[in-house]
A and B are shown apart, each in its own frame.
Chain A
Amino acid sequence: MRSGIGTRILGTAAVASLALLAVMALVITPQDVNQLDAVRFLYIHVPLATLMYVAFGVTAIASALYLWPRYRARKWDLLAGSSAEIGVVVTGLVLVTGSIWGRTTWGVYWTWDARLTTTAVLFVLFLGYLALRRVGGDVDARAKRNAIAALAATIDLPIVHKSVEWWRTLHQKSSILDEETFLHPHIHGSMYWTVMLGIGAFLLLFSWLLVNRYRLAKLEDRVEDEGLERAIAERRAEADAMTGAP
């Protein structure tokens, strides 16, 4: 299974848009009045945070589809796992970029603010999910277990978010997904478009990674199946040789 032409175009587009993002973020956009150059971190931090929700969203939807008897198929489990794996890496990067940005802007690496805490819990929740995926067993049983675990973790998120939001809030309000600011952006024009470009570029990157990770998951699956069949065939041949059967 070589990657198809579509995947390669996707990959090229992702690299090209990331290069453009780098130029926009590092050269063209101005410094921020308060944050100075630290603002440039947001051009990757905000897209990564968006990606995190997309990735876990895909995991949740694929898991729900797997549990839905009408749509039950092995592919949904593989897709959920592939997306969650990327999601965990992205969440790690969100925490790292956020911490570095926080150190320069707020003066601390970590504060127990609502969104940071939610993200940290999210990270651990899906680390657990990935650990569960690694546990062996019958293929269907495993897939069902994974799907239930993914959904149980997902329905927890709004509650985690609400609880830590009440607990304490320091993080600045969401500045892009707010309807009013979406229509009337108050952040500087080129900065706004750079963040949007960043989201687009990272979505392309995510799609490309997901396609490839999913393909790899399918290959792993096939190796497992074929390895088992081959082992059975070999044992059978051994037995035949020993008993002298034809």
Chain B
Amino acid sequence: MLRDAAVMAGKDLRIELRSRVATNQVAPFAVLVLILFAFALDPDRGVLARAAAGLFWVAVLFCALLAIQRAFAVEASDGARDNLRLSGLDPAAIFLGKAGAIAGELALLEVILGAGVVILYDRSLHGPVLLVVTCVLATIGLAASGTVYGALAAGLRVRETLLPLLLLPVVAPVLLAATRASEAALGGTTGDGWPWVRLLGVFAVIYVAFGVVAFAPLLEESS
């Protein structure tokens, strides 16, 4: 199953690498969001630096939406979805592969956004261990729940508008927990961050498990 997942993730990542949509469109969009936040919040009065953790995760959420839409858009044309179904790959492995590819893209975006926060918002990084664990767990949670909802909305006429409505409330706890944990890390009070990391871990485990179980019926239904 894991090898199937790796095949699937490799395929998706190769498509992204060759089409350059992620590098040419999603990553610049992420930076653009950071710049827009600076316009909306006065950078001189320190609001921006104080809100940096929250803004970072909101930007990640927006980018995650794009990455998820994209991951299922590539399956929409030329009957790719049917091919996927007929490929003989385990649906659970397809889920893990897709989620893995999305998580990989998100991780890259988080590095770019993190650099953006340091440079543009003048915020220095502390608590590296907590930050990295937070990012990893939050990314897994976002990718897993996003893949479930992406598959749910894929093939529908209204998917572009429906996906944010379905996904954003579900990942509200991720935004909350990841923001608190990052704030604790940046503020040097790492002790406060760990309960939030546990919550992120629980979220990730639950949605990975749900996706593994629910992906078979999801994949066979929408044609």
Identify which of B145, B148, B176 contacts A167 (C-beta below 8 A): B176
Number of interface residues of A (CB under 8 A): 30
Cross-chain pairs A/B with CB under 8 angstroms, 8 sampled: A132-B153, A135-B162, A137-B222, A144-B218, A145-B152, A148-B214, A152-B145, A155-B210
| Closest-CB distance, B61 to chain A (whole angstroms) | 14
CA distance A137 to B152 in the complex (A): 13
CA distance A148 to B95 in the complex (A): 15
Contact A163 B222 (CB under 8 A): no
CA distance A149 to B169 in the complex (A): 13
Interface-lining segment among B64-72, B113-121, B198-206:
B198-206
**Residues on B with beta carbons closer than 8 Å to the beta carbon of A65:** none
Within 8 A of B (CB), among A200-229: none
**Residues on B with beta carbons closer than 8 Å to the beta carbon of A89:** none
A131 lies within 8 A of chain B by Cβ: yes
- Tell me if B's interface is mostly helix, strand, loop or mixed: helix
Within 8 A of B (CB), among A112-143: 121, 124-125, 127-129, 131-132, 135, 137-138, 140-141
Given contacts A128-B165, A135-B158, A152-B170, contact A164 B221 (CB under 8 A): no
Q: Which residue of A lies closest to B195 (CB)?
A: A166
Contact B162 A131 (CB under 8 A): yes
**Residues on A with beta carbons closer than 8 Å to the beta carbon of B195:** 166
Contact B152 A148 (CB under 8 A): yes
Contact B202 A159 (CB under 8 A): yes
Q: Which residues of B contact A (CB under 8 A)?
A: 145, 148-149, 152-153, 156-158, 162, 165-166, 168-170, 172-173, 176-177, 180, 195-196, 199, 202-203, 206-207, 210, 214, 217-218, 221-223
Q: Which residue of A lies closest to B203 (CB)?
A: A159
- Tell me if A's interface is mostly helix, strand, loop or mixed: helix
| Closest-CB distance, B83 to chain A (whole angstroms) | 19
| Closest-CB distance, A150 to chain B (whole angstroms) | 11
Contact A135 B157 (CB under 8 A): yes
Given contacts A131-B162, A131-B165, A155-B210, contact A163 B152 (CB under 8 A): no
| Closest-CB distance, B111 to chain A (whole angstroms) | 25
Identify which of A128, A135, A155 contacts B206 (C-beta below 8 A): A155
Given contacts A131-B162, A135-B162, A155-B210, contact A148 B199 (CB under 8 A): no
